[in-house]
Structure 1
Amino acid sequence: MSSPTSRTPLIDMIKGMACATIVWHHLAFYGPMSDIAHPLAPTLMAWLYDYGRMAVQVFLVLGGYLAAASLAPQGVARFDHAGNAIAKRFVRLVVPYAVALLLSVVVSALVRHWMEHPSVPEQPTLSQLVANALLLQDIVGEDALSAGVWYVAIDFQLFALTVLLLAGVKALPGAWARRHAAALAQVLVVAGTAASLWVFNRMGALDMWALYFFGAYGLGMLAYWAVRAPHGHQAQGWLAAMVLLGGAALAMDFRGRIAVAVVTALCLVAAMRSERVRSWTGIAPLVQLGQMSYSVFLVHFSVCLLVNAVVSQLWPDSPVLNALGMLLAFALSLAAGRLLYLRVERHVPSWATALRWQAGLVGTGLLVAVSNNWA
């Protein structure tokens, strides 16, 4: 459903770089390898620990950009039924997600006997498994089964919120509403972006809801409409709106994450309005990583947890070998992500497939928990 300008090698390269940054952030954040290797590169480790998570803002902006491309490239909803659009998104997200969480449950059960560390998830409960399967873990107060899965839930919420907003505008009665549907939908997106940046994103207690993150997502949508604007003055209008929204938000309350989102959105417009940049084939490894970034994002925690357990058992005091272990964990995360991408994510799933994997996640998690209790 994406338009020709919505997905280019540049988009995939940006996703690839952001994905690699997130993996390294988690390698630095979740020890013990990073704790032992820290003296070798303390400045780099500190940067990854403190700022690597900012790459999430890049994904949020790109998510909004691609959502606008697929849902409303001209501002008007191009889908016929909101429920079907949301259901398709849920199914596409949760099948590789369930596979990755199932792996996390199994790996956590294995390493729990080798390594005592805060990064190892506790034995899952039934309520925790069900909440994670339904993307509700943060809302109902259950722990996540893997690092970063909160983002999957937020991505789904943001997509669903956008679909409902666009569908609501499309359903308005009257000739005037139909004639001005595109402008009305875009005004509402701008208003929602402003509300998020200026109000909701300043309220930390809301960080399990889409409203908290809609500012970055909305900037991505505005960026897409700026790229698609047929005339230069229209593109300049969108850019001015983005600068005003972001600048006011930073003036009210400077947040590094919002600064990253604003810069990402503005740079995206500048790059994607250039025919030369859009036609660039990119750097092949980064393009490939971007294409499979969702699978790598899902599976890397389990891989890193397993490598951490092995290295901490064999070489608990060697900074060099632990640093090499981090490099190995990164490489294996890419390999595992590629396997998940080729075998699962790339295939269009059905509701039956999604339900089967969700049930498998819950059932396997309970089986593992019972087995551990017996052991």
Structure 2
Amino acid sequence: MSQNTSRLPLLDTVKGTACAAIVAHHLAFYGPMSDIAQPLAPHLMAWLYDYARMAVQIFLVLGGYLAAASLAPEGVARFGQAGQQVGKRFVRLVVPYVVALLVTVLISALVRPWMEHPSVPGDPSLAQLITHALLLHSVVEHESLSAGVWYVAIDFQLFTLSVLIFAAVRALPSAAAQKWASWLGRAVVVAGVAASLWGFNRDAHWDVWAVYFFGAYGLGMMAFWASRAPRASGWVVCMALLGLVGLWLEYRARIALALVTALLLVWAMRTPAVRQWRGVGPLVRLGQMSYSVFLIHFAVCLLVNAVVSGLWPDSPWLNAGGMLLAFSLAMVAGQWLYRTVELRTPSLPTLLRWQASLVAAGVLVQLGSNWG
């Protein structure tokens, strides 16, 4: 993605807000602190539990928007080899992801003996560790070692699918196809959005595959092209029809949010005063490191849950304070991961070392559990 597109304060503010919502949702969803504090604010807890998770749709739309900006801003692939593009994406995603998983595995092992709660992952098997390291855990139905790691696998699938679409269009041999390559690449994306919103997204059996989420992701890609078009009306009408037909076939609040997000994104990016807005400072910074926060916050929340609920199991106020403490520490841990791992230029040897470390740590945890 181009630096001027990916680092707009407006986009970072939106990402920061969505990231905060996801962390708050997981704090409400994974107790026991939230269970103890629930009587203090039952309606807020219920909202965080049921609705804050839908902020994932905002990330999907923004992901599609930035993918279009990076891969095919004019509808034609501007990258070289598809395999190289996919490989770079895998390394960039998985290096901080594996580091965060390593921390989570170790913290889970630390708290497991003295916190019996469904939110604590079980001892990881060797197969589980390997499939997590390769982003295949959801596909083979292995229990997740951390909250939200399914999204990393889906993000990689969506990016890979987009690369393959534009690479395939560029590879078409006929002169006519090359002449209309820009139109054809966008048409395939529109068709993919329709297939997802009208079909795949209505069947939960597909929710481990990119096609289930391509509706929201593709709406984000369309939003980018609409924001760059001389006139956006055609794109806006197409997006609205795709979304409204999908909602008519089966209403899904998450799809409604994705559609509204994509349409607002078109308006915002075509309105100079909004596009040039400097954003909200703390949210801009959170948006910039949102991936790292997303990766590591569960480990932090797990540790604080264990300590606070263990020491004060009957105090709603102290457990509510523990939730706020966990939220704050998750931001600190995310900033550490962002600065020390995500910002550094990753490489395949670095990735392999961290993957090996994850597997080794998991095996040691398993051996220690068996000996215990």
Name the SS for the 2:78 alignment partner: coil
Name the SS for the 2:139 alignment partner: coil
User: Quick one: distance in 1 between partners of 2:92 and 2:303?
Assistant: 27
* Structure 2 unaligned residues grouped into runs of 5+: none
User: Quick one: distance in 2 between partners of 1:241 and 1:346?
Assistant: 37
TM-superposition CA deviations, 1:63-108 (whole Å, max 9, x none) = 0000000000000000010000000000000000000000010000
Indicate conservation of the 8 Å contact 1:121/1:146, yes or no.
Answer: yes
TM-superposition CA deviations, 1:164-203 (whole Å, max 9, x none) = 0100000111221111101000000000000000000001
Verify: 1:163 aligned to 2:163, yes or no. Answer: yes
Q: CA deviation at 1:118?
A: 0.2
Indicate conservation of the 8 Å contact 1:6/1:65, yes or no.
Answer: no
1:87 alignment partner AA? G
Partner of 1:336: 333
Verify: 1:355 aligned to 2:355, yes or no. Answer: no
Indicate conservation of the 8 Å contact 1:192/1:218, yes or no.
Answer: yes
TM-superposition CA deviations, 1:22-80 (whole Å, max 9, x none) = 00000000000000000000000000000111000000000000000000000000001
Name the SS for the 2:51 alignment partner: helix
Verify: 1:252 aligned to 2:249, yes or no. Answer: yes
Counting matched residue pairs gives: 372
Q: CA deviation at 1:274?
A: 1.1
Name the SS for the 1:224 alignment partner: helix
Seen in structure 2, the aligned counterparts of structure 1 residues 244 and 3 have a Cα distance that, compared at 3 Å, is farther
Q: CA deviation at 1:350?
A: 0.5
Partner of 1:227: 227
2:248 alignment partner AA? A
1:82 alignment partner AA? A
Indicate conservation of the 8 Å contact 1:5/1:272, yes or no.
Answer: no
Partner of 1:324: 321
Indicate conservation of the 8 Å contact 2:5/2:66, yes or no.
Answer: no
Q: CA deviation at 1:6?
A: 4.9
2:15 alignment partner AA? K
Verify: 1:269 aligned to 2:266, yes or no. Answer: yes
Partner of 1:60: 60
Partner of 1:365: 362
Partner of 1:122: 122
TM-superposition CA deviations, 1:231-283 (whole Å, max 9, x none) = 22xx1100011000000000110000000000000001100111111211111
Superposed, which structure 2 residues align to 1:1-375 within 5 Å?
1-2=1-2, 4-229=4-229, 231-232=230-231, 235-375=232-372
TM-superposition CA deviations, 1:317-352 (whole Å, max 9, x none) = 000000000000000000000000000001110011
1:264 alignment partner AA? T
The two structures have a TM-score, normalised by structure 1, of 0.98
Indicate conservation of the 8 Å contact 2:289/2:338, yes or no.
Answer: yes
* Structure 1 unaligned residues grouped into runs of 5+: none
User: Quick one: distance in 1 between partners of 2:3 and 2:149?
Assistant: 28
1:142 alignment partner AA? H
Indicate conservation of the 8 Å contact 1:3/1:69, yes or no.
Answer: no
Q: CA deviation at 1:136?
A: 0.4
Indicate conservation of the 8 Å contact 1:64/1:220, yes or no.
Answer: yes
Q: Following TM superposition, where does structure 1 have runs of at least 4 consecutive aligned residues deviating by more than 2 angstroms?
A: 3-7
The two structures have a TM-score, normalised by structure 2, of 0.99
User: Quick one: distance in 2 between partners of 1:283 and 1:202?
Assistant: 36
Name the SS for the 1:113 alignment partner: helix
User: Quick one: distance in 1 between partners of 2:177 and 2:360?
Assistant: 49
TM-superposition CA deviations, 1:217-242 (whole Å, max 9, x none) = 0000000000011x22xx11000110
Indicate conservation of the 8 Å contact 2:25/2:52, yes or no.
Answer: yes
2:365 alignment partner AA? V
Q: CA deviation at 1:357?
A: 0.7
User: Quick one: distance in 1 between partners of 2:351 and 2:371?
Assistant: 30
Q: CA deviation at 1:5?
A: 4.1
Indicate conservation of the 8 Å contact 1:61/1:217, yes or no.
Answer: yes
Indicate conservation of the 8 Å contact 1:3/1:70, yes or no.
Answer: no
1:219 alignment partner AA? L
User: Quick one: distance in 1 between partners of 2:176 and 2:206?
Assistant: 36
Question: Considering only aligned residues, what root-mean-square deviation do their CA atoms show, in Å?
Answer: 0.8
User: Quick one: distance in 1 between partners of 2:211 and 2:108?
Assistant: 32
Name the SS for the 1:317 alignment partner: coil
Indicate conservation of the 8 Å contact 1:169/1:185, yes or no.
Answer: yes
User: Quick one: distance in 1 between partners of 2:114 and 2:186?
Assistant: 54
TM-superposition CA deviations, 1:128-184 (whole Å, max 9, x none) = 000111000011111111000000000000000000010000011122111110100
